Amino acid sequence: MSGATIRERIETAVDYLAEIDNVVLTTFNVNPEFVEAYALPTVLGIWGPTATHRKLELHDRLAEVPVAVFYDPATGPRFSGQFRYEARPVPMRGRHFHPKIVAISGRDDLERRWTYLGVGSANLTVDGWARNAESYGEVWIHTEKQQPWGALLEFSRWLTGVARLGDGNRSSDASWRLGNWLEGMTDLKRRPEEPDAPWSGRLRGKAYFSMVHRDGLARFIQGRRKRPPSQVVAYSPYWADVESQTRRFGADSTVLAPARRPDQRFGLAQADVAGLDAEAIEVMRNDADDGTRFWHLKAYQVDFGASAFVAVGSCNFSAAGLRGANGNAEAMLVMEDDGAWLPSLAPVDLVNLPPANDEDEGPPEPCPVMFVLAWDWAKHAWRWWLDASAGQDCFRVQVAESLDVAVSSGTVELPGEPPPRGAMFRLDYTERGEPRRWHGCVLEINLEHSARTYGRPLTASELLESWRGRAPTWDLGNGEGDVWGDGLDGEAVEGPTGIGTVNLYDLYRAVRRRSEELEAASDKPNLLRALLLTSGDSVMALVRLARAETKNSTVAYLVLRELLSMLRRWRSVAGPGVLVEVGDATEAARRTVLDNLELELTGHSDSSAQPDAVLEWFERRLAAASRRSRDEAI
């Protein structure tokens, strides 16, 4: 079996896909630095010998592939805003958002649509992916006939709508794209047979999502069977409501396998099992759990006699974990499996369990307010959604230097100025008259229209060199070093960015090459969007440099003029907002050129030339030269 780490399993899957369309990750808690350094490069198939290489490549890939990370805001992460992906909080009233899935959609070499679905117990943290012993299962979705197809489709729709932000344009929303991707799959009954493909043997699992399969995990596994399971073996790091959850499975016998804590105590306490039927319920220890790693895995081995199933994923053995729609948002993968791969168990004397669990060992309190604040790059507006609980009132949200406004329940759009990178909001409100405060991350949406630079800003000449297909000068080769600094924390050195020094010959050659590249990518919408809008060397990146040029207004105008015509050719991808923005900038640059011409012509008393006429003459000559050189090239 290939891949013993989560990273390796995902790498194997991603290797198989020739093209990735979208990636959706869900987690309870999240370490954004880990996500950016490891998780995103893994799910996007990025390999590089150094962190710097991976970072550069990651910026390029994120320009093409929409990625969303859904997390529970109660865990209080802080995102850097340095990378182009959506970090979407999912507040849940009195509960947690707890599923840990990896959904990667793309096409294989034969142009077939696939969605790889990994379901496990690992959060998007270093501990989750690298240190703990976690359960992980995978299924490949290829046709509508597979159960995970419908389950994941419904879950993706739930994710898309959970925060009702009223954002219309969704082309860069990964969860929306995931739903669309699934809807575009075939309804073939027969599945292809390719024994060496990574999906071989991974087509038959069933996906459980508590928000979709509302009656809970036990019912889901039970299905239409009339007889209850003969035995359930539950591996879980956290335990609560043990008696009621044991009843939920209704097995003839139940084995509870708690994990050890770092102090070697079991995570299941005597108080949890007090009063249970000792004949039907047994506590056993995991032989492999010697205390060196945290066994964070959640796995359920359910035996029906003639058939046996294993479920892996996020459900802890607790009411919140197992009771379905009224509990946490959870995800599991269930397959017919004898569980031989699960660690063997040995009896444990109940006196070896701690008397009771420490109160502070539980999860954080659920998010106290149903509030999501977003900055919409397409509309250049704030959006928020608030669903106040009974007794909550007087809401006011603040974002440093950007927003300070009273809010009430519902969905609101408010034009404004963009927040700083990685901005946090502060929400003040009252609850039954008592002042309360909540902090959260500002979600940024419609990132394809973001005006931020992701990664090192390229100079105009680097950008044009890249358009001309040159080996980019910012390529770092295959080295181990970091050319931007002196070490791990070295400072970045930024080069010149101005467009004023651009050689016009280079400009037109580069524009032609980029136009050809765009034509060649006409059937690849992700690539087109990257080339036009989102990559570090996109057309819009050059537009921003040209707009910032103050010294050489003529070059700025000529550049903008070319870029506007390029964007018009691809208006369906660029969108009307971009065309208006670049059109206005071009017109403003033209006016500046005319003003400058007028000043210069005024200095020549013998000149009767009009600025308008001079510029028009120049533009005609330019167009003729451009046509000639294109013909020559042909």
Phi, psi (degrees; rounded to nearest 5) at 495: -90, -175
Q: Which residues fall within 8 angstroms of residue 190, CB to CB, at 6 or more apart?
A: none
Nearer to other proteins, 136 or 395 (CB): 136
Amino acid at 600: E
496 binds other proteins per the rule CB under 8 A: yes
Does residue 156 contact residue 66 with C-beta atoms inside 8 Å? no
Taking the C-alpha atoms of residue 337 and residue 419, their distance in angstroms, rounded to an integer, is: 50
Distance in Å, CB of 257 to other proteins, minimum: 13
603 binds other proteins per the rule CB under 8 A: no
340 binds other proteins per the rule CB under 8 A: yes
Chain centroid offset of residue 379 CA: 21
CA 195, 199, 201, 204 torsion-angle sign: negative
49 binds other proteins per the rule CB under 8 A: yes
Distance in Å, CB of 614 to other proteins, minimum: 30
Nearer to other proteins, 46 or 342 (CB): 342
38 binds other proteins per the rule CB under 8 A: yes
581 binds other proteins per the rule CB under 8 A: no
Footprint (CB under 8 A) of other proteins, residues 453-472: 461, 465, 470-471
The per-residue DSSP string of 94-115 comes to: TS-B---EEEEEEE-TT--EEE
Taking the C-alpha atoms of residue 251 and residue 231, their distance in angstroms, rounded to an integer, is: 5
Footprint (CB under 8 A) of other proteins, residues 95-124: 120, 122
Q: Which tokens sit at 210? A: 């508590």
Footprint (CB under 8 A) of other proteins, residues 295-314: 297, 310, 312
Beta bridge partners of 164: none
Taking the C-alpha atoms of residue 61 and residue 445, their distance in angstroms, rounded to an integer, is: 18
Nearest CA to 373 out of 308, 419, 429 is that of 419
Extended beta strands in 517-568, E state: none
Which of 274, 495, 548, 617 binds other proteins (CB under 8 A)? It is 495
Which of 135, 236, 246, 450 binds other proteins (CB under 8 A)? It is 135
Nearer to other proteins, 246 or 286 (CB): 286
Q: Which residues fall within 8 angstroms of residue 379, CB to CB, at 6 or more apart?
A: 167, 413, 415, 446
Nearer to other proteins, 341 or 435 (CB): 341
The per-residue DSSP string of 607-621 comes to: ----HHHHHHHHHHH
Nearer to other proteins, 250 or 490 (CB): 490
Nearest CA to 24 out of 174, 244, 164, 163 is that of 174
Helical (H) or strand (E) element with 494: none
Which region, judged by CB under 8 A, interacts with other proteins, from 4-12, 65-73, 425-433, 578-586? Answer: 4-12
Report how far apart the first and last C-alpha atoms of the chain are (Å, whole number): 53
Distance in Å, CB of 4 to other proteins, minimum: 4
129 binds other proteins per the rule CB under 8 A: yes
Q: Could you say which DSSP state residue 454 is in?
A: -
Distance in Å, CB of 8 to other proteins, minimum: 8
Distance in Å, CB of 239 to other proteins, minimum: 17
Rg over alpha carbons for the chain, rounded to the nearest Å, is: 29
621 binds other proteins per the rule CB under 8 A: no
Footprint (CB under 8 A) of other proteins, residues 250-289: 261-263
Footprint (CB under 8 A) of other proteins, residues 505-544: 506
Which of 188, 278, 483, 624 binds other proteins (CB under 8 A)? It is 483
Distance in Å, CB of 402 to other proteins, minimum: 18
392 binds other proteins per the rule CB under 8 A: no
Which of 12, 16, 37, 611 binds other proteins (CB under 8 A)? It is 37
363 binds other proteins per the rule CB under 8 A: no
Distance in Å, CB of 183 to other proteins, minimum: 25
Binding-residue total with other proteins (CB under 8 A): 76
Taking the C-alpha atoms of residue 463 and residue 563, their distance in angstroms, rounded to an integer, is: 13
Footprint (CB under 8 A) of other proteins, residues 50-89: 50
4 binds other proteins per the rule CB under 8 A: yes
Taking the C-alpha atoms of residue 175 and residue 528, their distance in angstroms, rounded to an integer, is: 20
Which of 414, 481, 617, 623 binds other proteins (CB under 8 A)? It is 481
Give the CA angle between residues 121, 127, 132 to the nearest 5°.
60
Which of 487, 523, 608, 631 binds other proteins (CB under 8 A)? It is 487
Beta bridge partners of 403: 399
Which region, judged by CB under 8 A, interacts with other proteins, from 107-115, 290-298, 517-525, 581-589? Answer: 290-298
The helix-helix angle for 539-548 and 460-467 (nearest 10°) equals 150
Which of 341, 415, 631, 634 binds other proteins (CB under 8 A)? It is 341
Q: Which tokens sit at 243? A: 């008696």
Q: Which residues fall within 8 angstroms of residue 294, CB to CB, at 6 or more apart?
A: 127, 131, 132, 133, 237, 259, 261, 262
Nearer to other proteins, 155 or 474 (CB): 474
Which region, judged by CB under 8 A, interacts with other proteins, from 27-35, 60-68, 433-441, 592-600? Answer: 27-35
Footprint (CB under 8 A) of other proteins, residues 177-206: 201-202, 205
Which of 16, 158, 484, 618 binds other proteins (CB under 8 A)? It is 484
Q: Which tokens sit at 178? A: 């995931």
Nearer to other proteins, 214 or 509 (CB): 509
